[in-house]
């Protein structure tokens, strides 16, 4: 493995710095192979760049994509996903059965699996994890630490939300059978178990190194230096501010990793990530900026598109006139040419949206009313509403790139000119994303139409429409009891199959009411050096590097 | 001398107390809410309230301040809201990167700047002088971030001569003793690692060095130009002393005082340059972490980091004052 920014030229640069000349002879020295692998592995070190460092290596307390990415290599949950989809698939659990009332889950576990520290993975270890989660001390019961657990299980053994908690019990039967009981049916339970937050962690390592009652359990001895799971990679080191290094787990129970080591580095700027790839400093990176895709492809790099599991929409705050008038909202929907928005500001291959969830999600339907691009109709609707030439505040964020919104300024500009073309006056209001924009949009009534979106965590309809329209919310500024109660009803149905018609109806209902205009499902892209093969994309980021190889 | 140093150190206490109040107020006056920033799109009103409660942001400001000072007095600077890492730990994890970058930049600025300024002053009005003066003017007015991006674009993106991000190639398993990567490479004789760290340092250090370099050139030039016209220099010349002796003993030594003051001031200012440079080159030092903390309104990190930087700035100034006495016996304090 060699450093691939051009070494010969690097030597030339040496002339620039006389102080460095002393060392110049050393530049010729051979770089060692990454990690010294053996056996059937193709070997080598893969360097992968994300946008930030992981926050913690205890997946239970993680909720950012970067932590999840690293944790996913070390840990595994009971449930995984079918490659390339968001659908649940067996992982540490070979199979499961759900009782009719949706309150009991019987899991049959893989046998012969060991944690990386030699501890047996068995039914007892599963219950240890479930019980650990349920008994979290109150200091850890905030959304900043345990968002996913609270979202699923709604509360803990203690604390103010103890009464709402739906976890009942975990019973181990022998080595490989586990029964989980919950108090209220929850159709998203199995797909949610595929989240890295619900990974199985070694009871031995947790008891030795973890302290859940520490003021911030994300930075304990365990979560910064001794994470132990059953995954294909073993934790090696975390040099803060530099990289997290993992090595192949030689005793992995599944398909063993082909590379020796993987190093995760953080490069915040998408353009800088692209340059680092071109320069050979990294072998791959996530979240390619739309503008970098073509140049990277032209230069021979590989672009991998994830199937979109997100939604970008134009929200309309009904607390602001004239957006409370359905005709004005319809006019705005007809004024927008989504294809143009996609071609001008979103990655190639992005499908336009017709509703507030992507097609992969249960409940998506082609029965929803659509609002085709029709400027004349838009003008007519505005005239009917007496809102010709009305001024509308248009909020958009700056200094940010979200997976569902890679370049908000560009998206804003396209939609703005489309709205102006039907005679609306647009008053642009730009705010920095972090934290002003969200504060204003989601936390106050002080906004008009706005760009925002969402990336789904797991395959559950409620994880999309339930989040947006489950209750009154300052972002949308409306109170529609019919929709709210339809969300509550659908949520309480025990299985996904039975939920389908309810969510289909709900999607139709929402699109008739038109609280916002779903724009598109932008495809997030990753980029890899030409020699990297075998990466399997996942719409829910369930991506494990054990199948990846690198050419020397 | 000791008394002088002690008195100056004692004077730092009220300065730091005042600064802690200002910082506390300033950080909280920033628009935006760290709780919302932390939870992102997934924030719910209850979620935000719970986080605010957890970090004590729901307490009255005065109570928050006293809790903050109480913790400070016991050496507790708090934990980052975003990452949970203790502020002191994260600072010292990243400080070596910033120090390595800063020292390199300052070395470039002094080693190149003082001789250039001297040269220009001794050849006033010549083409060399004009070239030095106009180039240094350009250096002073070029913003650091612009230069950083430009250097990166040319030497890394286009020419591909130098690495663009970080401090060392992620594939190198280097041993770290001091966390100054170049020094570590030399100490452990891992020449490959040392060389790689040097390559990673070149562009950020050049970007960061430019402004201090330009200022040092201009101050040295002005100061030397003034000294060469002094009577004692003319006397020395008429005594027939060699020009080397005149330069070293009579001109440079006398001209150096304002230069040293400038170097001290620039050393402090390097921190602000480092925030931008480190961000452009993903250098992962204190500056980049501080930049991120401003974005996420990470109160404890902002308060802690700026306080540390202020202490370091004050110490550098003290060192400059002490060095006056070494250079010029006339200002030696008893």
Does the model's pTM come out above 0.90?
A: no
CB of B272 within 8 Å of a chain A CB? The answer is no
Calculate mean pLDDT across residues A137-162: 87
pLDDT of residue B2: 80
Q: Can you tell me the distance from the alpha carbon of A329 to that of A471, in angstroms, rounded to the nearest whole number? A: 20
- Give this complex's ipTM: 0.83
DSSP state of A322: T
Taking 90 as the threshold, does the pLDDT of residue A213 lie above it? no
Q: Can you tell me the distance from the alpha carbon of A201 to that of A140, in angstroms, rounded to the nearest whole number? A: 18
Calculate mean pLDDT across residues A54-75: 92
Q: Which of A313-327, A392-406, B6-20 has the highest mean pLDDT?
A: A313-327
Taking 80 as the threshold, does the pLDDT of residue A437 lie above it? yes
Across chain B, mean pLDDT equals: 86
pLDDT tens by residue, A525-542: 999 999 999 999 999 889
What is the nearest CA distance from A203 to chain B, expressed in angstroms?
23
pLDDT of residue A235: 96
Return the residue matching tokens 């009652």: A213
Neighbours of B244 (CB within 10 A): 8
Q: Can you tell me the distance from the alpha carbon of A21 to that of A383, in angstroms, rounded to the nearest whole number? A: 75
A240 contacts B171? CB cut-off 8 A = no
Taking 80 as the threshold, does the pLDDT of residue B43 lie above it? no
Give the up-direction half-sphere exposure of residue B321: CA atoms within 13 A in the CB hemisphere.
Answer: 16
CB of A15 within 8 Å of a chain B CB? The answer is no
CB of B195 within 8 Å of a chain A CB? The answer is yes
pLDDT tens by residue, A103-148: 999 999 999 999 999 999 999 999 999 999 999 998 888 888 888 8
pLDDT of residue B229: 82
Neighbours of A250 (CB within 10 A): 14
Among chain B residues, the shortest Cα distance to A457 is held by B42
Shortest CA distance to A393 belongs to which of A416, A422, A413, A423?
A: A416
Q: How confident is the model at residue B158 (pLDDT cuts 50, 70, 90)?
A: confident
| Contact list, A262 vs chain B (CB under 8 Å) | none
The distance from CA A417 to its chain's CA centroid, rounded to whole angstroms, is 31
3-state secondary structure chain B: CHHHHHHHHHHHHHHHHHHHHHHHHHHHHCCCCHHHHHHHHHCCHHHHHHHHHHCCCCCCHHHHHHHHHHHHHCCCCCECCCCCCEHHHHHHHHHHHHHHHHHHHHHHHHHHHHHHHHHHHHCCCCHHHHHHHHHHHHHHHCCHHHHHHHHHHHHHHHCCCCCCCCCCCCCCCCCCCCCCHHHHHHHCCCHHHHHHHHHHHHHHHHHHHHHHHHHHHHHHHHHHHHHCCCHHHHHHHHCCCCHHHHHHHHHHHHHHHHHHHHHHHHHHHHHHHHHHHHHHCCCCCHHHHHHHHHHCCCHHHHHHHHHHHHHHHHHHHHHHHHHHHHHCHHHCCC
CB of B279 within 8 Å of a chain A CB? The answer is yes
Among chain A residues, the shortest Cα distance to B205 is held by A17
User: Hey, what are A529's tokens?
Assistant: 């050096």
| Peptide bond before residue A322 is cis, with ω within 30 degrees of 0 | yes
Across chain A, mean pLDDT equals: 87
Q: Can you tell me the distance from the alpha carbon of B5 to that of A548, in angstroms, rounded to the nearest whole number? A: 60
Taking 90 as the threshold, does the pLDDT of residue A205 lie above it? yes
pLDDT of residue B331: 66
Minimal Cβ distance to B163: which of A34, A240, A281 = A281
Taking 80 as the threshold, does the pLDDT of residue B203 lie above it? yes
Residues 237-266 of B with CB under 8 A from A: none
pLDDT tens by residue, B83-141: 888 999 999 888 999 999 999 999 999 999 999 998 898 888 889 889 988 888 888 88
Calculate mean pLDDT across residues A406-411: 88
Among chain B residues, the shortest Cα distance to A221 is held by B85
| Contact list, B166 vs chain A (CB under 8 Å) | 242, 265, 267, 281
CB of A265 within 8 Å of a chain B CB? The answer is yes
Minimal Cβ distance to A436: which of B31, B191, B284 = B31
A219 contacts B79? CB cut-off 8 A = yes
Q: What percentage of chain B exceeds 90 in pLDDT?
A: 15
Q: Can you tell me the distance from the alpha carbon of B54 to that of B33, in angstroms, rounded to the nearest whole number? A: 14
Q: Are B330 and B1 in contact (CB under 8 A)?
A: no
Return the residue matching tokens 């990167």: B97
- Beta strands A391-398 and A425-432 are parallel
More reliable by pLDDT, A340 or B291: A340
B40 contacts A438? CB cut-off 8 A = yes
B41 contacts A452? CB cut-off 8 A = yes
pLDDT tens by residue, A163-180: 989 999 999 999 999 999
Q: How confident is the model at residue A552 (pLDDT cuts 50, 70, 90)?
A: low
Return the residue matching tokens 């060389």: B195
């Amino acid at each position: 493995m060699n450093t691939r920014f051009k070494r010969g030229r690097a030597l030339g640069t040496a002339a620039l710095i006389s102080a460095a000349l002393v060392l110049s002879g050393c530049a010729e020295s051979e770089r060692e192979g990454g990690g010294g692998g053996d056996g059937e592995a193709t070997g080598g070190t893969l360097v992968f760049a994300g946008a930030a460092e992981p926050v913690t290596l205890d997946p239970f307390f993680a909720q950012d994509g970067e932590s999840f990415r690293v944790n996913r290599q070390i840990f595994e949950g009971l449930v995984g996903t079918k490659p390339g989809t968001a659908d649940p698939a067996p992982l540490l659990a070979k199979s499961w059965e759900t009782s009719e009332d949706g309150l009991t889950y019987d899991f049959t576990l893989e046998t012969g699996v060991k944690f990386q520290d030699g501890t047996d993975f068995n039914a007892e270890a599963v219950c240890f994890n479930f019980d650990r989660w349920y008994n979290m001390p109150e200091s850890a019961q905030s959304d900043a630490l345990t968002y996913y657990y609270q979202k699923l299980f709604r509360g803990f053994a203690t604390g103010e939300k103890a009464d709402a908690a739906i976890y009942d019990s975990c019973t181990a039967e022998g080595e490989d059978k586990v029964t989980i009981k919950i108090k209220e049916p929850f159709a998203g339970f199995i797909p949610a178990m595929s989240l890295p937050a619900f990974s199985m962690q070694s009871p031995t390592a947790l008891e030795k190194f973890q302290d859940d009652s520490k003021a911030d359990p994300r930075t304990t001895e365990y979560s910064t230096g001794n994470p132990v799971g059953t995954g294909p990679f073993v934790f090696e080191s975390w040099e803060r501010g530099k990289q997290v290094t993992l090595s192949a787990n030689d005793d992995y129970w599944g398909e063993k990793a082909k590379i020796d080591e993987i190093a995760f580095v953080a490069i915040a700027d998408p353009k800088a990530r692209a340059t680092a790839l071109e320069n050979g400093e990294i072998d791959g990176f996530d979240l390619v900026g739309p503008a970098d895709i073509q140049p990277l492809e032209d230069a021979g790099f590989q672009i991998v598109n994830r199937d979109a599991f997100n939604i970008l929409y134009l929200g309309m705050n009904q607390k602001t006139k004239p957006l409370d008038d359905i005709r004005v909202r319809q006019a705005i929907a007809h004024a927008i040419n989504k294809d143009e928005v996609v071609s001008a500001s979103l990655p190639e291959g992005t499908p336009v949206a017709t509703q507030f969830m992507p097609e992969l999600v249960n409940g998506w339907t082609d029965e929803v009313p659509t609002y085709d691009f029709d400027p004349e109709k838009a003008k007519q609707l505005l005239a009917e509403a007496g809102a010709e030439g009305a001024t509308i505040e248009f909020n958009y964020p700056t200094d940010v790139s979200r997976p569902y919104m890679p370049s908000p300024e560009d998206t804003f500009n396209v939609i703005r000119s489309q709205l102006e073309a039907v005679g609306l006056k647009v008053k642009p209001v730009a705010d920095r994303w972090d934290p002003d924009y969200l504060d204003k949009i989601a936390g106050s009534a002080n906004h008009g139409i706005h760009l925002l979106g969402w990336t789904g965590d797991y395959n559950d309809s409620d994880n999309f429409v339930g989040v947006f329209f489950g209750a009154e919310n300052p972002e949308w500024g409306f109170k529609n009891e019919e929709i709210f109660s339809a969300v509550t009803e659908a949520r309480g149905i025990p299985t996904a199959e039975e939920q389908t018609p309810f969510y289909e109806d709900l999607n139709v209902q929402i699109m008739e009411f038109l609280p916002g205009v779903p724009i598109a499902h932008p495809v997030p892209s990753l980029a890899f050096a030409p020699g990297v093969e075998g990466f399997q994309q996942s719409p829910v980021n369930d991506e494990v590097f054990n199948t990846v190889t690198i050419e020397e | 001398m000791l008394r002088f140093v002690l008195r100056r150190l004692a004077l730092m206490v009220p300065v730091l107390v005042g600064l802690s109040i200002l910082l506390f107020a300033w950080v909280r006056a920033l628009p935006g809410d760290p709780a919302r920033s932390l939870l992102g799109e997934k924030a719910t009103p209850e979620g935000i309230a719970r986080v605010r409660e957890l970090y004590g942001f729901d307490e009255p400001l005065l109570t928050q301040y006293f809790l903050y000072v109480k913790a400070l007095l016991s050496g507790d600077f708090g934990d980052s809201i975003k990452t949970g890492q203790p502020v002191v730990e994260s600072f010292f994890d990243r400080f070596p990167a910033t120090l390595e970058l800063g020292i390199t930049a300052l070395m470039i600025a002094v080693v190149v700047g003082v001789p250039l300024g001297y040269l220009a002053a001794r050849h006033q009005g010549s083409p060399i002088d004009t070239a030095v003066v106009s180039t240094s003017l350009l250096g002073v007015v070029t913003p650091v971030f612009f230069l950083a991006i430009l250097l990166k674009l040319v030497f890394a993106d286009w020419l591909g001569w130098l690495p663009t991000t970080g401090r060392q190639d992620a594939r190198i398993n280097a041993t770290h003793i001091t966390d100054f990567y170049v020094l570590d490479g030399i100490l452990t004789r891992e020449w490959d690692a040392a060389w790689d760290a040097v390559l990673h340092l070149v562009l950020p250090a050049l970007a960061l060095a430019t402004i201090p370099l330009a200022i040092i050139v201009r101050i040295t030039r002005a100061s030397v130009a003034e000294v060469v016209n002094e009577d004692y220099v003319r006397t020395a010349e008429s005594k027939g002393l060699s020009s080397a002796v005149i330069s070293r003993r009579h001109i440079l030594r006398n001209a150096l005082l304002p230069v040293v003051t400038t170097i001290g001031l620039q050393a402090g200012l390097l921190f602000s340059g480092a925030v931008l440079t480190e961000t452009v080159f993903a250098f992962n030092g204190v500056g980049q972490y501080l930049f991120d903390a401003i974005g996420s309104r990470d109160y404890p990190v902002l308060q802690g980091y700026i306080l540390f930087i202020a202490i370091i700035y004050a110490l550098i100034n003290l060192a400059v004052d002490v060095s006056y006495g070494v250079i010029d016996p006339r200002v030696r304090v008893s």
